[in-house]
Amino acid sequence: MAQYSAAEPSTKSPEATLNGPNIANESLRVFAGELSSFNQNHNSQHTLKSSATSPVTKEGLNKLEFNQNEDEDRLSTVELFQGCIPLRLFLIVMVATLIVISCFFIWVSTFVVSKHAIESLANNVIGVNNQKILSYLDAMINPLGKMSKAMAADFNYGIANVENFRQYLFPKYYFLGATSCGYFFGYPSAKYTYSITGVGSKAYLVYSYQPPGFIGTIRDTVNNKTGAVIKVNSTIDYTPFFSAQQDYYNSTIDLSSKLGIEGVYGSPYKALNSSMAIYHSSVVYDPILFSSTGMKKAVGVTRINMSLGAIVSYLSKIVLIGRGYCLVSQTNGMMIGGSINTLAGDGETNLHLFNVTDRNDVYLIVFEDDILQSVIVTSGISVGVFVGVILLGLLVSIVLGSILARPLKQLEEQFSLMKVLILDNVKLSSSVFKEIQNIFNSLEEMLLWLQEIKTFIPDHVLEDIQSSDPKMCCSPPLLTSRQHASMRSSVTKNSVSSCQSAGRESSTSKRPKFLRALSKTSGVGSSFDFVESASEKAELFTEALSTITPLIKIYKASLQILTNFEFQIYFTGNLNDDEYKVPIKGIECALKIVKSLELMNAIKYMTRIGVSVSEAQVGNIGNGTKGARYFATVGSCVRDATTMATLARLFNLSIVTDSSCFDGTLSNEKFIARPIDRFRKHKSSEIETLWTVIDEKILEHSEWLLHC
């Protein structure tokens, strides 16, 4: 709070003034003079406009711009749709559309599902399972042919030979998961193969071989994980074995030669001492002739067996509708496997499989009774669609509510700002709804008038209005109350309110204590006694006021005019947080006032400012509904600031402060000040130091070493 006063030169000496019984009252009397000036024809360029001399009319107001184009003749796309849709019609159309869409979707879903339920359900189930079975069979059988052809190629190029068959064949058997893997030669008869002997838990791996010239078969028991020999010559079978007399040997060579291919699939058969299996054979040629001349002379075949047990196990897990099941068979009707128990063929046929999808038929059997259950499913789907429509309705309702609530929410936010007269932050929008757009238009017109009315409202009244709002009370950076007992008076109610507590007391309600900085500024013009023109006094007063007012707004202070050239400027802050910020703001503002008035006219304006800080009770006193209310400040800082301003005039200094402004180190570090005297305040036993503030401290870049 700054007090700015202009007065006649006092005839009293400093000693007489200081020793008076009541220096505060004396200072008010001393600075009660009027304005004076040298130039009676001086015209101020900073004259404030008054509504009394220049009446404001609605036609004279400048229209505020709220998202509008500067060219009023050119309408934007948004403006074309403003207020064109009645809100009632919009609600009726949206609800009716929702009902019609709901009924339509329910009818369409019931009709379509009922018509296509049986065929789509059967086709989907059959198609999906058929594709799964064929994919599985293809994944199980195709690797047989690829591995068999790879083995034949390795022999033809000399990679695999009699010396390394044992080591070469085991990885092929192990990683493929085959039941048998080996080479068979015709003349002389010979074979080298790994095979599974036995069924189930009694199955074990043997390496069977027939060296050239031996009539039977020799078997070594080996480890099925590593290929290590467990028992050498575990079985020596002298039963004659001739590869050239085997059906798979002859059919492979004949069909490969006839069809021009390298290998063929054989039909499922029951292997000796093993389970049902399917195999693939490829022709091998004389490696010497093949590598030297490219001549293909057949000398034997490769054969890889794959047990059908894995296929049968997979098919047994297929589940169809109700009692349905699936079967996989050859074209001659011999069953390979299925989802039910099947009798495998005896393996006596020699039909060969060239392509699993061509040679095998897959049957999916579905009972009609199970398909008819889709009618029940149709009803369930209808219920599901009904639930979906309900969810859609809820979604549309939410969207509709958002569309309607958005402009209303904007109105709520703008009204909350207008309630506390923060008009600069009001941003009016537009709406496509006619009723809401009319509200925006009316609100825009009202805002124009409020902008004009606000200019006539004193700052302390605006401050009191904004502090009456709980949201605004907690947020101002300077005017904040104590957390345990912060209360402010209301402009329109006879009550005291705050962010955290509210109470009702007498008309002179008990005020909370705020940390206040009061600055008293005195300005004396030369030849003041000779200025008699009221117009020139008004010009000088207006010049000073127009210079001080921007500074007041920058520092968010409150200005109170006492006489022609006597002002009081109030700075407020929280006791806990702003103990050092308030005096700094007061001193900074005082320095800027001094410099501003000196720059404008150092001869006419000689500023004398007193600054003091203390706790004070501040607010509007009185009954807001039954009587008048006025702004008042009760605290020692009012008297002390007036005293400091008096001393500033007597000592001919621009700014004088008491020790309350220099209790902390922050003020000493920020300002250049010197002590001028010792002083004992009214009704105080302590003697304190008086200071005069010269300027702010500015640290130059070249002086940094001096402050280390």
Q: Quick one: how far is CA 353 from the chain centroid?
A: 61
Question: Which range in 66-80, 431-445, 685-699 is most confidently predicted, on average pLDDT?
Answer: 685-699
pLDDT at residue 120 above 60? yes
Structural domain boundaries, residue 235: 156-368
Which pLDDT value is given to residue 558? 81
Do the domain assignments include residue 478?
Answer: no
Cβ pair 274, 196 in contact under 8 A: yes
Do the domain assignments include residue 579?
Answer: yes
DSSP string, 314-339: HHTT---STT-EEEEEETTS-EEEES
Would strands 263-266 and 276-285 be described as parallel, antiparallel, or unpaired?
antiparallel
Whole-number Å distance between alpha carbons of 699 and 675: 22
Which pLDDT value is given to residue 33? 27
Do the domain assignments include residue 458?
Answer: no
Of 158-167, 333-342, 349-358, 596-605, the one with minimum mean pLDDT is 349-358
- The three-state secondary structure class of 242 is coil
Q: How many residues does the chain have?
A: 708
Which pLDDT value is given to residue 184? 93
What is the crossing angle of helices 374-419 and 87-156, to 10°?
Answer: 130
| The residue to which tokens 């000779």 are assigned | 530
Do the domain assignments include residue 294?
Answer: yes
pLDDT digits (tens, 9 = 90+) for 509-524: 333 344 555 555 444 4
% residues pLDDT > 90 (the chain): 4
Domain count, the chain: 2
75-81 contact pairs (CB < 8 A, 24+): 78/430, 79/430, 81/432
Task: Tell me the CA distances in angstroms from 69 to 65, 73, 514, one per residue in order.
Answer: 8, 9, 47
Do the domain assignments include residue 681?
Answer: yes
pLDDT digits (tens, 9 = 90+) for 522-578: 444 443 445 567 777 777 778 888 888 888 888 878 888 877 677 888 887 766 655
Whole-number Å distance between alpha carbons of 613 and 207: 107
Which pLDDT value is given to residue 370? 66
- The three-state secondary structure class of 493 is coil
Q: Residue 356 CB: number of other CB atoms within 10 A?
A: 18
- The CATH number given to whatever domain includes residue 548 is 3.30.70.1230
pLDDT digits (tens, 9 = 90+) for 193-241: 998 887 767 788 899 999 988 988 999 999 888 888 888 888 888 888 8
- The three-state secondary structure class of 202 is helix
pLDDT digits (tens, 9 = 90+) for 69-85: 444 455 566 566 665 77
State the DSSP code for 84.
-
Of 36-40, 93-97, 128-132, 380-384, the one with minimum mean pLDDT is 36-40
| The residue to which tokens 């509210």 are assigned | 502
Whole-number Å distance between alpha carbons of 82 and 558: 42
Name the CA dihedral angle for 39, 42, 48, 52, rounded to a multiple of 10 degrees.
90
Strands, sheet with 488-489, edge to edge from the N-terminal-most edge strand: 488-489, 496-497, 502-503
Mark whether 547 and 682 lie in a shared domain: yes
- The three-state secondary structure class of 632 is strand
Output 59 or 190, whichever has higher pLDDT: 190
Mark whether 336 and 192 lie in a shared domain: yes
Which pLDDT value is given to residue 266? 81
Is the sign of the CA dihedral 233, 234, 236, 239 positive or negative? negative
Whole-number Å distance between alpha carbons of 474 and 483: 10
Share the mean pLDDT of the chain.
69
Cβ pair 213, 237 in contact under 8 A: no
Of 183-187, 308-312, 349-353, 449-453, the one with minimum mean pLDDT is 349-353
Mark whether 352 and 206 lie in a shared domain: yes
Mark whether 538 and 659 lie in a shared domain: yes
Domain final residue pick, 306, 334, 368: 368
Single-letter residue type at 499: C
Output 272 or 134, whichever has higher pLDDT: 134
Do the domain assignments include residue 92?
Answer: no
**Can you point out the beta strands (E) in 385-513?**
488-489, 496-497, 502-503
Question: Which range in 266-270, 355-359, 370-374, 472-476 is most confidently predicted, on average pLDDT?
Answer: 266-270
Of 358-367, 471-480, 614-623, the one with minimum mean pLDDT is 471-480
pLDDT at residue 268 above 50? yes
Using 50, 70 and 90 to split pLDDT, how confident is the model at 183? Answer: very high
Using 50, 70 and 90 to split pLDDT, how confident is the model at 255? Answer: confident
Beta bridge partners of 656: 610, 692
Using 50, 70 and 90 to split pLDDT, how confident is the model at 441? Answer: confident
Cβ pair 189, 241 in contact under 8 A: yes
Domain final residue pick, 368, 399, 418: 368
pLDDT at residue 112 above 50? yes
Contacts of 445 (CB under 8 A, 6+ apart): none
pTM of the model: 0.38
- The CATH number given to whatever domain includes residue 345 is 3.30.450
Do the domain assignments include residue 612?
Answer: yes
Mark whether 35 and 182 lie in a shared domain: no
Mark whether 161 and 34 lie in a shared domain: no
Single-letter residue type at 684: S
Alpha helices in 565-615 (DSSP H): 581-601
pLDDT at residue 622 above 80? no
Output 426 or 380, whichever has higher pLDDT: 426
Cβ pair 1, 633 in contact under 8 A: yes
pLDDT at residue 244 above 70? yes
Mark whether 181 and 39 lie in a shared domain: no
- The three-state secondary structure class of 11 is coil
Do the domain assignments include residue 8?
Answer: yes
Domain final residue pick, 368, 388, 418: 368
Mark whether 41 and 163 lie in a shared domain: no
